[in-house]
Amino acid sequence: MPGWKKLPFDSKWYANINESALTTAAAAIENMYLNEAGGHTRFPGLLPFVSDIGDDGRVYLSEFRGDMLAATSRGRFYTIDQLGTVVDRTGVPIAGGNRVIFDETEDEKVMAAGGQIIRFAGATTEILSPDAPAQCSHVQFVDSYLIANELKSGRVQYSEPGEWRTWPALNLFTAETRPDDVTAVIVTPYRELLLGGGKTIEQFERIQDANSPFGRRWGVGHGLATPYTFIATEIGNWCVDENYTFQRISGQTAQPASDDIQSVISDVGDWTDAWACYLAVAGQKFILLQIPEATNIYGTKGITLLLDSKRRRWLSLYGWNDALGLPARWPGWSAVSLWGKTYVGGEGKIYELTEDAQDNDGGVQRLLYRSGHYDRWGPVNIGKIRFRLQRGAKDNGRSA
């Protein structure tokens, strides 16, 4: 008599083969991840932390001196305390209309979004310096210098060391490997300065030179397709390269991380506002990649992919469109870890990402696992099946 067989529900998601031919991997994994026991755990939901921040723009989160900072796509800037109290700190709006990039010196928080660099030292926002680049997308701090790219050029400017409001006209250097615009500047946790452009990624380091304190150390054989997917984490540097492959970069080596789902990102037609971030939740470490304007398999806007950095497994995150009754873009635009929790910036809102929520701010959080075809044992007849399930501790009042 046939015995019990363990179905391989711990298989990875593999999107590069038509589902009718898929036998050794999962066809879909949505809003759940593989846990250490080989089972699946619901991805944390979103609880409202700030329901109305003050405008309806996309919210980009950071932190400074124990407070949460929120800059929006409307150019406004707010501080939020642990009780969720919002204070509008906008003196000078954050101009440019791009995603807001944050860093900080010993004295202030600095921000760039395509216009002038803005500083915040505790009162209200103001222009950092009239001599800093008039248009820049990225500003970063390394080795006592502030560094910013000149938008639509290959030049990078830097402040005087320790004098972050002083930007002499001759304090600049250029990307060297190939002539292209510098579209992203990041500093790794190991204090490496990386410049990215459409054709090149280069590492610069401090040197003893009378003409410039920075010199190129090496280049990577890749460029950036999307500058806001270029991020630095403790587990490597990541980007979507010029061939629309998600790469992990370490030193001069780039290793494709998206092989299992390459067909998903290769089919994207609109990479507008694509971004990535590091996300630590529930003891797990993820790299999030969102392509907000892409059309997903349900015909709605938004593809959000999550890479389990330890197990090298991918999953999809979705929100829900009530009007269509279909999955839609996961509602986050940014994330920050603060006060022992993880918070997500939405549109005019801030959420807490928590295992206590079985929904996304009251919206459906549908879990979906779709297996491949089980024919590895020959003809299969399933007479009985056993699952071990733990349902949500709270009823979200929805069914899906």
Q: Which amino acid, 369?
A: Y
For 125-160, the pLDDT digits (tens) are 999 999 999 999 999 999 999 999 999 999 999 999
Q: What is the pLDDT of residue 392?
A: 60
Please tell me the least confidently modeled range out of 18-22, 310-314, 349-353, 390-394.
Answer: 390-394
Q: Characterize 178-197 residue by residue with b for buried, 16 or more Cβ atoms within 10 angstroms of its Cβ, and e for exposed.
A: eebbbbbbbbbeeebbbbbb
Question: What confidence tier does 215 reach under pLDDT thresholds 50, 70, 90?
Answer: confident
- Side-chain half-sphere exposure of 213, counting CA atoms within 13 A: 15
- pLDDT attached to residue 39: 84
Per-residue pLDDT of 80-114, as tens digits, reads 999 999 999 999 999 999 999 999 999 999 999 99
How many Å apart are CA 229 and CA 183, to the nearest integer?
11
State percent of the chain over pLDDT 70.
94
Q: Please tell me what DSSP assigns to residue 115.
A: S
Q: Is the pLDDT of residue 37 over 90?
A: no
pLDDT digits (tens, 9 = 90+) for 301-321: 999 999 998 888 999 999 999
Q: Rounded to an integer, what distance in angstroms lies between the CA atom of residue 348 and that of residue 51?
A: 7
| β 275-281/253-256 pair status | unpaired
pLDDT at 394: 58
Q: Which pLDDT score is estimated for 211?
A: 74
Residue 272's nearest CA partner among 99, 91, 136 is: 99
pLDDT in tens, 164-185: 999 999 999 987 667 789 999 9
What pLDDT does residue 375 have? 64
Query: Up-side HSE of residue 256: CA atoms within 13 Å toward CB?
Result: 10
The candidate with the shortest Cα–Cα distance to 50, out of 399, 350, 348, is: 350
The pLDDT mean for the chain works out to: 91
pLDDT band at 391 (very low <50, low <70, confident <90, very high): low
Q: Which residues pair with 127 in a beta bridge?
A: 118
Residue 385 has pLDDT above 90, yes or no: no
Inter-residue contact 216 to 202 (CB < 8 Å): yes
pTM: 0.92
